[in-house]
Amino acid sequence: MKLKTLFKALALTASIALSSSVAAKDMRLGLIVPASHEWSKAATAMGEELKEKSGGRHTMSIFPAGQLGNEAQMLQQLQTGALDMAFMTVAEITNRSEDFGALFAPYLVKNVHDSGILLNGPTAQKLLDSLAADIGAVGLGFGGASMRLLLTAFPIQSAEDLKGRKIRITPFPPAKDFYQIMGAASTPMPVTDVYDSLANGQVDGVDADLELVWRMKFYERGNTLLHSSHMMFPVIGLVSGRLWQQLDEADRELIRETTRKHLNGLFKTYGVVEAEMLENIRGTGKVQIIEAGPEFFSSINQQWETLWNKRTPVLQELRKEAAQIN
């Protein structure tokens, strides 16, 4: 066969493969968090609903705890089509698309409930829509996690006490900047490695949330819990761009709506479980709990804001929307 004819034949096969819609599929969904985490529970509930609503045509297998690799690896798998879906930290997306960093502005929202309003607002939804072109995966919706706080292995009373200390951060620039501005040594580390690092003194403290502190038992290795709620920490529902191309409009709608429903449910869930987890941690008597607001970090918040306003105009748009909520 001549080369030109061969290319034509290959192109035709490819276009048939792309246009023929997927009749039935067992979708594989990956997460970095353990099966006990609220994100994993939401993914499981979503899979069950999808199965029911598709009359059993679409099922879902959930792979929690980084079984399929870390988030960067899962993102690559989504791009190649080796993975169908993921519930992924927006932190990981920020490593590829800086605009998403604006979502982590200190004290952008007061609590998880308000983060749900902001993340369903026009600016955040525009960010979601930009993903297919930027990362080769389709963003279906945002959900929440418990608000960020700080657990230290030593007593603290002010942000000054953090100077020179090694603080574990999720590996992404907004958290790195926050602790660097504070004078701490930002130490990037995936959530899966945190317990041991705190136990063996590799880090002096961790930027985390109530769910990690309680369910992954970080409190066992802590001295002080600074309940600061200084950032939100959204999760994003992603589907492989390749799979998306092969789905017909009705299936796309079904998957989008089901995913959004269960991710949105997280905003309400955390409103309830955050309070429970805080009381559980208090009940252990293991850590001193300090309630803190923006004043604890004083000028650090403003320095972060100045830095990120230079990086992305999205921050100002989000601040305007957030002001309507607060």
Contacts to ligand BEZ by CB under 6 A: 32-33, 89, 145, 170, 191, 208-209, 212, 233
Of 136, 49, 146, 154, nearest to 97 by C-alpha is 136
Of 290, 292, 237, 231, nearest to 259 by C-alpha is 237
Minimum CB distance to ligand BEZ, residue 83 (Å) = 17
Distance of alpha carbon 38 from alpha carbon 115, whole angstroms: 16
Give the position of tokens 């006990």: 36
State which residue has the least CB distance to ligand BEZ. 170
Is the CA virtual torsion 94, 98, 104, 108 positive or negative?
Answer: negative
Sheet holding 137-143, edge to edge: 58-63, 25-30, 85-89, 235-240, 137-143
Give the position of tokens 């000054």: 160
Minimum CB distance to ligand BEZ, residue 169 (Å) = 8
300-309 CB contacts, 8 Å cutoff, 24+ apart: 300/106, 300/159, 300/178, 300/181, 300/182, 301/106, 301/107, 303/181, 304/105, 304/106, 304/174, 304/177, 304/178, 304/181, 305/105, 305/106, 307/177, 307/181, 308/101, 308/102, 308/105, 308/174, 308/177
In terms of CB distance, is 34 or 81 closer to ligand BEZ?
34
In terms of CB distance, is 100 or 233 closer to ligand BEZ?
233
Minimum CB distance to ligand BEZ, residue 216 (Å) = 9
Is the CA virtual torsion 93, 99, 105, 108 positive or negative?
Answer: negative
In terms of CB distance, is 182 or 247 closer to ligand BEZ?
182
In terms of CB distance, is 139 or 171 closer to ligand BEZ?
171
Minimum CB distance to ligand BEZ, residue 179 (Å) = 13
Give the position of tokens 């200190």: 106
In terms of CB distance, is 232 or 254 closer to ligand BEZ?
232
Distance of alpha carbon 202 from alpha carbon 42, whole angstroms: 33
Minimum CB distance to ligand BEZ, residue 195 (Å) = 12
Minimum CB distance to ligand BEZ, residue 222 (Å) = 15
Minimum CB distance to ligand BEZ, residue 187 (Å) = 12
In terms of CB distance, is 33 or 278 closer to ligand BEZ?
33
Minimum CB distance to ligand BEZ, residue 62 (Å) = 15
Helix axes 112-119, 249-284, angle to 10 degrees: 160
In terms of CB distance, is 212 or 278 closer to ligand BEZ?
212
Give ∠ CA 176-182-183 in degrees, rounded to 5.
90
In terms of CB distance, is 219 or 233 closer to ligand BEZ?
233
Minimum CB distance to ligand BEZ, residue 52 (Å) = 27
In terms of CB distance, is 29 or 191 closer to ligand BEZ?
191
Contact 236, 43 (CB under 8 A): no
